[in-house]
Homo-oligomer: A and B are copies of this chain.
Amino acid sequence: MTTLGYAILGLLSREDLSGYDLKQRMAGRVGYFWSARHSQIYPELARLEDGGYVTHSVVEQRERPDKKVYEITARGLDDLKEWVTRPPVPRPTRDELTLKAYSVWLADREEATRLFREEELRHEEQLAHYEGLRTWMEGEWREDLTSTNSPEFASYATLRRGISYEREYAGWCRWMADSIEGRGPTRVGKE
C-alpha cells in the first residue's frame, strides 16, 4: 500500500467521497500535508478497490454527470488504523529554496534580498490564512477539541503543524533577507 492510498483512506474514513471530491480535497494542502492530482487518484482508487480496501456505488445525478461514490471497508479501516501509529521511514527533506541559500554567496545582493523577501511574504500569507482557520476551529469546535479521538482534533492537529511550519519558514526567510540586505537580522522574540 502506498502513502497516497492511506491519504485517500484517511479521507474516506471521515466521509464517503467520489474521485472528484478527493481531488478537490487533495488540491490545496489545507488540512493535511499531502497532495495528488486526479490522474493519480483514479488509478489508486481502482487499486484500493482491487485490494478490498474500498467499495463504490454509482450515484445518478440530475443535471450533473453520474459519479462513483467510494466507501471505506472494514478491512480498509483496520489497515488505516494500523498504519497511523507505524513509524514512518525517514525520507530526505528536499527544499529548493534552502538549496539556493547554500549558493547565495554567489548571488547579487539585491536580487537575493528580493527573493527571500518575496518568499517571506508568501509564507506569511499562508500563515495568516491558517491562523484564520485556527480561530474559526477553536471557536466552532471548542467541545470536540477536548477529546483527541475526534476527527476535529486531528484536523486541528495538522493545522497546528501548518501554522508552526509556515511561521518557522517565514522567520528564516526574514533572517536571510535581513542578513543579506546588511541591516543585520531583526530580533523578534528569542531566535
Q: List the interface of chain A (C-beta within 8 A of B).
A: 3, 6-7, 9-10, 13, 29, 31-35, 77, 80-81, 83-88, 90-109, 111-112, 114-115, 118-119, 122, 148-151, 153-155, 157-158, 160-161, 164-165, 167-168, 171-172, 175-176, 179-180, 182, 189-191
Contact = CB atoms under 8 A, between A and B. Distances in A.
A168 B163 CA distance: 10
Q: Give me the 8 closest cross-chain CB pairs, A-B, nearest first.
A: A33-B98, A85-B111, A168-B168, A33-B95, A35-B92, A88-B96, A32-B102, A10-B103
Contacts of A180: 148
A114 B157 CA distance: 16
B99 A80 contact: no
A105 B151 contact: yes
A120 to B, nearest CB: 12
A151 B83 CA distance: 43
Contact of A168 (B90, B102, B165, B190): B165
Contacts of A94: 3, 33-35
A98 B29 CA distance: 11
Given A98-B32, A189-B190, A103 B87 contact: no
Given A3-B96, A31-B102, A88-B97, 4 more contacts: A80-B103, A157-B179, A161-B172, A168-B168
Nearest to A28: B92
Given A103-B80, A148-B179, A190-B189, A93 B13 contact: no
Contacts of A7: 99
A94 to B, nearest CB: 6
Given A10-B99, A179-B148, A106 B93 contact: no
